[in-house]
Amino acid sequence: MSRGVDEDLLFRALADPVRRQLLDRLRAAQGLTLAVLIDGLPMTRQGASKHLAMLEAANLVAVVRRGREKLHYLNPVPIQQIAARWIGAFEADRVAGLVEFKRRIEEDGQA
Amino acid sequence: MDKPDLVYIAFIATDVEKLWRLLTSEADSPFWFFGCRIEIGGAAGGPYRVLGPDGALAVDGEILAIEPPHRLRILWRMPGNPLGEGRQNEIQYRIEPATEGVVKLSVSEFHHLPVPDAWQEAGREGWSKILSALKTLCETGRPLPLAMGEQP
């Protein structure tokens, strides 16, 4: 499971308004069965199952089986990993920039 | 099986034993736990404490179940019981093989006392960072440069 494959799945899973709506619902109330999750939404159980399978494959939804029930939870960890990849790099650049800045003003001070 | 209130999952390219060692290592804990240090006993009934970077006691918990290298369940008792008196909340770590060379780490929260929304929000961010840090540490051997956010 390489990083590239994971990320393709993640971005594909997020690139759909219905799946984002399901994530929004799980953010508001977690541990929902499929029936409760899609209550009031214009979709079939079958359609919702497909969307949820894709979200689960991308690890955006965690599924806990309890007896015959499947409970669905929002898992924000992959989104944090995406943030860490770019925000972390950005911070590292900023630190490098500060180190360079300090070196320059110290040189100026000696000149 | 009781129903968790919140679940966090990371898939990590490592083996079960290595991740277990990292998760239960007092020396390595600051590298994945916002600079906090854990103190952990070896058996159920033993202590599980979290000390902040300044040494302040953040969690004064207890091991409820420990099954190396797969399961660790903790009574997540905070000094002063800020969520209220009574049965305190629990955290469970579970490590399972997923696919070839990949393990699944899940953290589940079991709430016996209601957790305010703001705490849940902080917890969502905090656990996401902790699991990301464990993943990066396992896979690269380097700590993730974490922004010091709220602790769960």
Question: Which residues on A lie below 8 Å from B128 (Cβ)?
Answer: 76-77, 79-80
- Of all helices (H) and strands (E), which one includes residue A52? helix A45-57
Domains identified in chain B, total number: 1
Q: Is residue B123 one of the residues assigned to a domain? A: yes
Per-10-residue mean pLDDT of chain A, 111 residues long, equals 68 97 95 96 95 96 94 94 73 58 62 45
Chain A to chain B, count of Cβ pairs less than 8 Å apart?
62
Buried b / exposed e over A72-85, threshold 16 CB at 10 Å, is bbbbbbbbbbebbe
Q: Is residue B15 one of the residues assigned to a domain? A: yes
Q: Is residue B58 one of the residues assigned to a domain? A: no
pLDDT in tens, B102-150: 999 999 999 999 999 999 989 998 999 899 989 989 998 877 665 544 4
Tell me which chain B residue has its CA closest to the CA of residue A3. Answer: B13
CATH of the domain at B92: 3.30.530.20
Q: How many angstroms separate the CA atoms of B149 and B110, rounded?
A: 22
Question: Which residues on A lie below 8 Å from B111 (Cβ)?
Answer: none
Range of the domain at B85: 6-25+66-140
Domain ranges of chain A: 1-75, 76-111
Q: Is residue B31 one of the residues assigned to a domain? A: no
Judge: B129–A1 Cβ closer than 8 Å, yes or no: no
Question: Which residues on B lie below 8 Å from A1 (Cβ)?
Answer: 11, 13, 99, 101-102
pLDDT in tens, B48-63: 999 999 999 999 999 9
Which CATH class name applies to A1-75? mainly alpha
| Strand ranges for A42-105 from DSSP E | 61-66, 69-74
Q: Is residue B78 one of the residues assigned to a domain? A: yes
